[in-house]
Amino acid sequence: MMGNKDIINLGCDEHYWKQQTLIPEEEIIRKEDISLNKIRDLMDKVDCSIQQELPLEKPKPPEVATKIKKTYSQDWPAYEQAKSNEFGIVKSLASELIETYLNSPYSQKEFKLREELFCMIIHIYFGGSFRKTISILKSINDNRFISKVPCYKTLSNYFSDVSLTKILEELITISSLPLASLEENLAIDSSGFAKNMYSQWSEYKWGKFEGKEREWLKLHACIGTKTNIFVKVSITKKNVADPTEFPSLLKNSKKYIDAKTVVADLAYSSRKNLDVAFALGLIPYIPFKKNATGKAKGSETWHKMFRAFQINQEEYLQKYHCRSNVETNFHMLKTRFGNKLHTKSFEAEKNELLTKVLVHNLCVLNQESFELGIKLDFEACVKQMVTV
């Protein structure tokens, strides 16, 4: 056995140590070269395989199918002509429509009504205060329309004339008839117009003297979805339910427009309303509530439309999408002529709102006469309304 001294002596013997424990330097260098060459060969093989499997260019992301939004063309030259000459044409249309309807320009009573209606239309068209309307009427200064400019208070009283309510409702329908042949779809809905006062609703319900709610009227309307014309309207207080007005609006509109379908929202979804539409020869596209079932319960129309809704829901909702046009009508009406009523009594508020709708129809007639080249014959429209 070796002692410590022998180990030290061996450690000092450099030649013995190299011979017994160390690898020669030439062999180390040769082995390092071999291993490096193997690594380089392996990396070259990996690069080649990567280049074969992967494309040289950066891969493009997969194409996602995008739904193309449907757009509608606009005849801009015709639109510009219509807007540039709107007031003069609307003024003439209003006078012609009123005179044709009253059909007696020499009667003192009906001449007075004609002046009242004309002044109300001018007030709604320009908006603002009654005093402002008086200044506009003075600038018109034409005996074909008015014989004398009224006082601002007299103009305010015109809206309170109860006899004008029915006349305004019929004028709205007559003004829609020139476009009746273009309409195939009807849409029904309602919208609120704020009154110029508040009610203490908490006091009315609970006997508390706190909180208030603005009063408003509800405009129920049946419109043509192609031209955004109001065909028939009715005005009620805010607590009148929408479905109750559906039958009368639809029956009075179908008399003058040979439409094929009618659309309305969930509020009108009932067996009675579907039966009314089907009896008039219209296909009702009204969505069904979540808890609705296909049970007829005496209404075969309900059962058929429910089946159609379940089998081909996409096509059904595509037809129903026409309902958005009635929202467009209300937006046009409120944006241009205001969403508030400035008169005080219920009769005056009704006449103010009816006049807004009538002026809207006259503006639509002006635009469509330029864009579609429609000839406006109010005399034929009045005869059509009388004979139906």
Residue 233 lies in a domain: yes
Assess if residue 203 is contained within a domain: yes
What pTM, to 2 d.p., does this model score? 0.79
Decide if 71 is inside a domain.
Answer: no
**Spatial distance between the Cα atoms of 172 and 178, rounded to a whole number of angstroms:** 12
Q: Is the residue at 28 inside a domain?
A: no
Task: Return the pLDDT at 208.
Answer: 57
Let me know if residue 48 belongs to a domain. Answer: no
Domain range for 301 is: 76-387
Which regions in the chain score pLDDT beneath 70?
A: 1-70, 72, 104-109, 198-212
Q: Is residue 365 part of a domain?
A: yes
For residue 207, the model assigns a pLDDT of 59
What local confidence, expressed as pLDDT, does residue 339 receive?
Answer: 92
Q: How many domains does the chain have?
A: 1
Is 146 part of any domain? Answer: yes
With respect to residue 7, please indicate whether it lies within any of the assigned structural domains: no
> Alpha carbon of 167 to those of 3, 35, 86, 352, 356: distances in Å?
134, 105, 24, 13, 14
The pLDDT score that the predictor gives to residue 49 is 53
**Residue with structure tokens 């208070």?**
153
In this structure, the strands spanning 185-199 and 213-224 are antiparallel
